Amino acid sequence: MPKKQHTGLKWLWRIVFVILIVISLALIFNEQIKSWLVSSYSPPVTAKTVKKNQTKKGNFNFSKVKSLDFQTVAKARMNKSSIKVIGSIAIPSVDLYLPIGKGVSNETLALAAGTLKADQTMGQGNYALAGHHMIKHGALFSPLYYRSKVGQMIYLSDVTHIYAYRTSQRTFIKATDVQVIDDVPGKKLVTLITCDKTGAGRLMIRGTYVQKWAFKQAPTTIQKSFTSHFNNKY
């Protein structure tokens, strides 16, 4: 075999070997990389961006939501500008802090909590949010599955105000029980929906409205739940 051909073949095998190593590492650390892509998402949550995004249309077709695989998360990070951030949610007792995006597009649910109705308003009616459940206990809505309890406080913020709810119900429901997001006459609620451990059913966390504050007038510890975990400018 000529020397040049032998050298070329040797380099080709080295390149193939490196590619195989990279692919193997990616497969081994798939979940870790995916969790990092989700947890490191920190969009701006400002009065300007929230006001702008509230006027935009969202995607509310839940039937097109994909499972949270690596490709979905990677695509969401590449298209993060498509997520219409309209606020944030904080549940300090379970260490849950997430931006809220308008609608339930795959990009939105891959990185944030998504609103389930087009016309809902914090502090009014039944404010319903959906979020994915991941293997990592601290990502997205996973803390609800592992650590939520009745009596815990849930806080929502639209930048201008902070809205407080107290968890009143924690129950497993069928995936077809979509009526749980409907408004209940005379009640102000927050309803959080995520998958159960099997993925076939749903876990519903419901909170009843307690009060709201202008952001700067809320207790300092509650303000910090938002200012310490989000890229905020209040």
Quick: pLDDT tens for 24-60: 444 444 566 777 787 888 888 888 899 999 999 888 9
The predicted structure's pLDDT at residue 188:
98
Into which CATH architecture does domain 41-233 fall?
A: Beta Barrel (2.40)
d(CA 36, CA 202): 25
The predicted structure's pLDDT at residue 2:
56
Rounded to two decimals, the pTM is: 0.84
**Active-site residue flag, 161:** no
Q: Looking at the chain, list the stretches that DSSP marks H as alpha helix, in order from N- to C-terminal side.
A: 3-28, 30-39, 47-54, 70-78, 106-111, 142-147, 220-227
The predicted structure's pLDDT at residue 117:
95
Quick: pLDDT tens for 148-194: 999 999 999 999 999 999 999 999 999 999 999 999 999 999 999 99
Whether 195 and 133 have beta carbons less than 8 Å apart is answered as yes
For the four alpha carbons of 119, 121, 126 and 130, in that order, the dihedral sign comes to positive
Quick: pLDDT tens for 94-140: 999 999 999 999 999 999 999 999 989 999 999 999 998 876 667 89
Q: Which of 6, 132, 133, 137 is catalytic?
A: 132
Taking residues 12-16, report their average pLDDT.
64
**Active-site residue flag, 132:** yes
Q: Which of 6, 133, 137, 195 is catalytic?
A: 195
Quick: pLDDT tens for 202-233: 999 999 999 999 999 999 999 999 988 765 55
